[in-house]
């Protein structure tokens, strides 16, 4: 019987210490480690964790594969991307990330779109937003709130 491939979208993060990042994601987000594949020099070529059922892949920085340029958020001066987690216990999950070493980018607050929402940055420069739906809001109500900003 052939394997059935399930379509998926998984972030693949580049970090400056992939082994430490995997350990951090286990502590901060309750990730389940799926595996680590190290190259001869010890750098992680591929790692994978599962967070709330979603796969996050990661690897160490390999500047030699990018025209000699580092591709970590720290080396690039930040990241325009945030990875979003929709959770049922945002207060405790947000605190868990902080306790593991994340820093607050945006504190938890109730938002106009109906979520209790906040954002943290991990020690490797990646940003993670966490949200919990707390009330139903129509598209029209959201548009009105945006218009009044």
CATH number at residue 69: 3.10.180.10
Into how many domains does the chain fold? 1
Taking only the tens place, the pLDDT of each residue in 57-81 is: 999 999 999 999 999 999 999 999 9
The per-residue pLDDT for 2 is 63
Confidence of residue 118 (pLDDT cuts 50, 70, 90): very high
The reply to whether 98 falls in a domain is yes
Whether 104 and 98 have beta carbons less than 8 Å apart is answered as yes
Strand 127-133, strand 82-86: pairing: parallel
Taking only the tens place, the pLDDT of each residue in 98-113 is: 999 999 999 999 999 9
Enumerate residues 6+ apart whose C-beta is below 8 A from 112.
137, 141, 142, 145, 146
7 has a pLDDT exceeding 80:
no
The reply to whether 49 falls in a domain is yes
The reply to whether 121 falls in a domain is yes
Q: Which domain holds residue 61?
A: 12-147
């Amino acid at each position: 019987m052939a394997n059935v491939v399930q379509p998926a979208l998984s972030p693949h993060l580049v970090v400056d210490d992939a082994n430490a990042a995997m350990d951090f994601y286990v502590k901060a987000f309750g990730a389940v480690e799926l595996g680590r594949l190290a190259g001869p020099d010890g750098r992680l070529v591929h790692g994978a964790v599962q967070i709330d059922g979603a796969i996050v892949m990661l690897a160490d920085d390999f500047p030699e594969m990018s025209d000699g340029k580092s591709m970590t958020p720290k080396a690039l001066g930040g990241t325009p991307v945030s990875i979003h987690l929709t959770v049922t216990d945002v207060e405790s999950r947000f605190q868990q990330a902080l306790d593991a070493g994340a820093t607050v980018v945006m504190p938890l607050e109730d938002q106009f779109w109906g979520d209790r929402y906040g954002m943290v940055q991990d020690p490797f420069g990646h940003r993670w937003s966490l949200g919990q739906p707390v009330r139903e809001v129509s598209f029209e109500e959201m548009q009105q709130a945006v218009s009044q900003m």
